Structure 1
Amino acid sequence: MKTRTLMSDLKSKYADKSWNETLQLVRRCMEKTKGDGRVSEPITRCLEKINEALNVSSMTTMVSRLEMIAKQRGLGSHLSPTETVCYLTADLFYIEVVLLPGGRVEDVRAAHHGEPPVSSPSLLQLLRMKKFHEFSLKLDDLVSFYNIQGDSDVKVKIFSALRHLETDLFKISHLPRSLRESDLHVDLIMNGRIGNVQPGRDGAPMTIEYYISPLDVLMGLSDTGVVGVGRVALVMVGSSDTSHRLQMESLISSPPQVDSFGFPVFEPLTDSCSESLPATFLLKLQPALPMLMSFMEKIGKITDGVMAEKHLQVEPLPQLLMKTNTKQNSKISWTDGVQFAVPLPASEYHSYVFPGAEWGRESWKGALIHTVPFSHPGHVPALLEVLRHQSAINILLASCFTDHHLDAGLQYDLRCEVLPESDHCLSVTFSLDDGNHLAVLQVTVVDSHQMSCGLLMPDFVDHNLDDYVSRVLVRCMSIPITMRAIRRKVSGLIAGPVPEADPELTTAMDIITSAPLSDESAPDFPGAVEPPASVSHEAAEEEAMATSPGYYVMSVASPLADNANTEAVADPSPCVSLGVYSHWVTGGLPAELL
């Protein structure tokens, strides 16, 4: 009763008060800390609710809102002497918000340590639209970018090392190389030494787009006419329990000197150009990547023992992939195995079984990796190849996953059992149309560009068919679509002897390598919108040029590339390009995917 009476008295006392007066009272209360120096949490929550309820229509309320956001994100805040600029400050950066009467915002500028403030259109737009929650999240990203332990001098040195790393990564990205795909953007992502590099903007870190699946390419082209976004790594720094020698200047000369593989020659890390600091560089993966333990060991060897996250939860790789797929039920028990019903066009259904005991082998266990630490720019190309290799394996396995409801009465056109072999090899056992014979498709993922398929069938050997299946798999990166193509090809082979030369197969192989495709040859991707399915003579000529070993590409978008070595260099990946994306990006689609 005493509490109710007190609350009633408070309500009556402030019933005629304006929100601004109430706000000022709460702010004064916040300045009175407890004995231990902490601000009362109920008062803090009260102030947050008041700020959210207020209509920001004056300079005072805008300042109050900015100060609250700064406090929530652990930043300092203060007004300029003229009270027209609100500063949100941290050790290595600050934000200037230039205010106008009525709570309007004239400009928002971000300044990093040692650099002049630069206008940030994205932050300005958020404040002008009064999207304070989104603005707060942007600040949180900035704070996490500079989340480094140590005093101010150490933080400044670590941030300086990151800037020199970014300079070297740009230099590597602008070295000349062979063009292997007809679409420059896809080629840069999949074949560039360090993928598609984009500088940081508005305080965001540098990004590296390092892998994109064929389905991502198709969906992007269908929706917007441009290639979609693939898997991305943010270039950041992070604190470390042990010290690592990090560069304090660029390690690549100008113009860059390259070795026989086309990679730059780095200056050694001496005391004059580097310093031992309690931090590492990081590739922050978006989204996080399920990775096999054997691949983590490869990363450790590349980075000379700089290891990834500790206390990782190890699980079978397919189970990790299911958990990271928002469409899958993460509560599915993996112990006894999992079965998926995969719908395909023309009312075709496949069944894919993953035996739990087999996939529980140590060689196929992995963990979800969010960050990959390293200490030298020369580590990045090799690290990205490991990430691409793992991404290719994940894409293949995930192609068998679906949230389609299992129906006991459903008639499957193909029943398959997917089994693990080595850490980069798996097999698909399936029953042929007569139901009395089993066949096995063995898939070896050599790397993100090369995949080898071997089809083992009773009393049947055809290496041309193996090559055909390999090409189909590389083009679509989908096990169900590949199995559908196999089923169509072998449906009539078991009944009698195989002719010496299969005209249909020969025609299909010709289509793969060069022939333009008609509308009837478009693949049936569940949920994918098909792009135009015709290739002009000019497009075919462009594709032929794309595979020419004498065709080089070098970006000139960045001034850092002005002094780059433009001499033709040896191809670090001398194998013949399998053309994973070339035909698709130019609009033609292989007939074997029907």
Structure 2
Amino acid sequence: MAAETGIPSVYLEHQLSHVGRGAKKTKRSLIDRLRHCKSSHSRSWNDSIKTVRSCVGERRSQTDASDSTQVQHCLDTLQKAMKVISPQTLKERLDLIGRQLGLSVQIQEQKISLGMDAFHVEVLLGEDGVINSVKLANQGDVMDCPDLKDILKRGNFSEFVEHLQGLQSIYQVTSDEKLKSKAFLALQALEKDLNQLAQFQNSISGVANYIHKCPLGIMLPRLAGKPMKLIYFVSPYDLLDKKSLTAHPLTVEAITENFLGQSVTVCIEPVPESAPLNKLQTMPLMNVSITQDGKSLPSFSGVSQINSMMLPASFVLVLPQSIPVSSQILQKITSLTNLEIHKEAESKNLHSLILENFSNRPVKDCHKLLVSLPDQQHIYFLNGGGQDQQGVMISRIPFTHPTHVPKILSLMRQQLLFNIVIASCIRTGAKKDTVNSIVFEVSAVSLQQLTIVFEHPAYDTMITVDIDLTDITNLKCRVTCTNTDHVLCSDEAVSRVFQR
């Protein structure tokens, strides 16, 4: 069997050896009885056979609730390891996926259906057993999904499971069957508004401007069960390919194909039980008005009893991983949405959070950072991390109206730009050479302004660098010497560095 499935026999023995502790004890008692029979010279061979048969019959008559579960688990493990090479193995694999996700599964000769009351995914087979099409029936609307068809043809069942789980999550915001359909309508109406808003971004030229100045950045619409994705920030570090030691081009294709930059997904989630209900749209709210000079301008209606409904849920921007956010930014977002943002831990020094997040390890001294370069040794002393620079780690931002999304992304861009600049002072494995190091004092005046002071390498004077972090596409930098106020660096030079 191991040779047929391509699974190592040791792996099968390991899986089958974990059938249950209760079963092991019973087997030990049976083996002890058989050994006793073997050691008894007074018994004949026929008597031994009878004893074995009685022991097996006794074992079959015993009921063990864990046996069926453990055996099914072993069978499922074998099923996952088998390659899908026929219509029958495809049906068995889809049946396994449906059972594990708690979905209803209906298998016919040329159709496999997985889903629940709210939605169904139908896999249609041809006469030769090849997948002809995959259709998604959602709230009565049936649409063809060629992407799901390609996923199944490639045998990428893990990605297929992600789509099913994404569809399930939409309807898990409430246990009320009547409100489940309303949750889908709310998310669908929000996505239509954001899709329409994204059409107004096509007139913006330049990829850097398109990402960092557009209301939504690069928008990837919903694909079956995968939610809408907004790529809203790409730093110079994101473009570096560590494997090839080259830089990706700053193009939309390179960013989307290589999953570069910072992004959020647009979802809907239930609110805590103690939280009040939210009025969410069930119809698109965006309107387009034409000005006197012929330009189209978007506008949004407020929620009302006609276009919305009270639901125990909220829209949410989900971050792929938690990021440090200052208390100031958090307060601005909360005052905008009037919704509480879940904090993953207590607030602490923002610099410490940023350094620990980017270095993936605790930082003993966040005020003194050592950096080893190929030809220089630096020490950075960070200031401005007092009570006014507190931060928390967040991974979800709830909201209730489509106009909240551009404003939230604008604030998050501001935070991420600050994080990237502070994190540039981190180097793992730096040398502890304080004698030959160049000392820099970095002061965070605010999230929009940094001041760097260091000694001139050739003259007995101090240099001050003021960096304006208001806009990543147009960074402003002023470098002056003590007692001269002479500008040594232009804004354009600094901007080009960050746009590359």
TM-score band by shorter chain is 0.7 to 0.9
Residue 248 to residue 48, structure 1, CA distance change in 2 (3 Å): same
Question: How far off its partner does 1:454 sit?
Answer: 4.1
Residue 268 (structure 1) aligned to one of 283, 302, 305: 302
Aligned to 1:505: none
Residue 428 to residue 125, structure 1, CA distance change in 2 (3 Å): same
The one-letter code matched in structure 2 to 1:387 is M
Q: For 1:287 and 1:33, how far apart are their aligned partners in 2? A: 43
Question: How far off its partner does 1:192 sit?
Answer: 1.5
The one-letter code matched in structure 2 to 1:209 is I
Question: How far off its partner does 1:295 sit?
Answer: 0.2
**Is the aligned partner of 1:42 residue 2:70?**
yes
Residue 88 (structure 1) aligned to one of 97, 114, 118: 114
Is the Cα contact below 8 Å between 2:134 and 2:149 reproduced in 1? yes
Question: How far off its partner does 1:176 sit?
Answer: 6.9
Aligned to 1:443: 467
Query: Higher strand share goes to which structure?
Result: 2
Partner SS, residue 301 of structure 2 = coil
The one-letter code matched in structure 2 to 1:474 is S
Larger Cα-atom Rg: 2
Residue 91 to residue 412, structure 1, CA distance change in 2 (3 Å): farther
Question: How far off its partner does 1:376 sit?
Answer: 0.9
Structure 1: tracts of 5 or more residues without a match: 10-28, 478-580, 585-594
Larger displacement relative to structure 2 (272-281 or 48-57): 48-57
Residue 208 to residue 57, structure 1, CA distance change in 2 (3 Å): closer
Aligned to 2:19: none
Partner SS, residue 168 of structure 1 = helix
**Is the aligned partner of 1:74 residue 2:108?**
no
Residue 257 to residue 68, structure 1, CA distance change in 2 (3 Å): farther
Residue 380 (structure 2) aligned to one of 323, 339, 353: 353
Q: For 2:401 and 2:251, how far apart are their aligned partners in 1? A: 39
Aligned to 1:529: none
Question: How far off its partner does 1:117 sit?
Answer: 3.2
Aligned to 2:485: 461
Deviations 1:261-290 (A, max 9, x none): 986332232211211111111111234432
The one-letter code matched in structure 2 to 1:237 is I
Residue 360 to residue 396, structure 1, CA distance change in 2 (3 Å): closer
Residue 63 (structure 1) aligned to one of 91, 97, 114: 91
Is the Cα contact below 8 Å between 2:344 and 2:392 reproduced in 1? no
Partner SS, residue 64 of structure 1 = helix
Question: How far off its partner does 1:294 sit?
Answer: 0.6
The one-letter code matched in structure 2 to 1:353 is Y
Question: How far off its partner does 1:104 sit?
Answer: 5.2
Q: For 1:372 and 1:33, how far apart are their aligned partners in 2? A: 47
Structure 2: tracts of 5 or more residues without a match: 1-24, 34-59, 241-246
Aligned to 2:264: 233
**Is the aligned partner of 1:401 residue 2:435?**
no
Partner SS, residue 202 of structure 1 = coil
Residue 153 to residue 442, structure 1, CA distance change in 2 (3 Å): same
Aligned to 2:47: none
Aligned to 1:242: 276
Is the Cα contact below 8 Å between 1:363 and 1:422 reproduced in 2? no
Q: For 1:255 and 1:262, how far apart are their aligned partners in 2? A: 6
**Is the aligned partner of 1:320 residue 2:353?**
yes
Partner SS, residue 300 of structure 2 = coil
Larger displacement relative to structure 2 (208-217 or 433-442): 433-442
Residue 387 (structure 1) aligned to one of 402, 412, 416: 412
Provide the TM-score with structure 2 as the length reference.
0.75
Partner SS, residue 102 of structure 2 = coil
Q: For 1:338 and 1:56, how far apart are their aligned partners in 2? A: 56
Question: How far off its partner does 1:362 sit?
Answer: 2.5
Residue 139 (structure 2) aligned to one of 101, 113, 120: 113
Aligned to 1:556: none
Is the Cα contact below 8 Å between 1:57 and 1:103 reproduced in 2? no
Partner SS, residue 175 of structure 1 = helix
The one-letter code matched in structure 2 to 1:301 is S
Aligned to 1:433: 457
Residue 299 (structure 1) aligned to one of 308, 315, 333: 333
Q: For 2:350 and 2:418, how far apart are their aligned partners in 1? A: 10
Aligned to 1:591: none
Q: For 1:106 and 1:203, how far apart are their aligned partners in 2? A: 20
Deviations 1:343-365 (A, max 9, x none): 2xxx333424345xx56522222
Residue 86 to residue 352, structure 1, CA distance change in 2 (3 Å): farther
Q: For 2:483 and 2:209, how far apart are their aligned partners in 1? A: 41
Question: How far off its partner does 1:256 sit?
Answer: 6.5
Q: For 2:414 and 2:75, how far apart are their aligned partners in 1? A: 50
Residue 127 to residue 8, structure 1, CA distance change in 2 (3 Å): farther
Deviations 1:1-31 (A, max 9, x none): 752465899xxxxxxxxxxxxxxxxxxx9xx
Is the Cα contact below 8 Å between 1:145 and 1:204 reproduced in 2? no
Q: For 2:138 and 2:267, how far apart are their aligned partners in 1? A: 14
Question: How far off its partner does 1:342 sit?
Answer: 4.4
Q: For 2:67 and 2:189, how far apart are their aligned partners in 1? A: 41
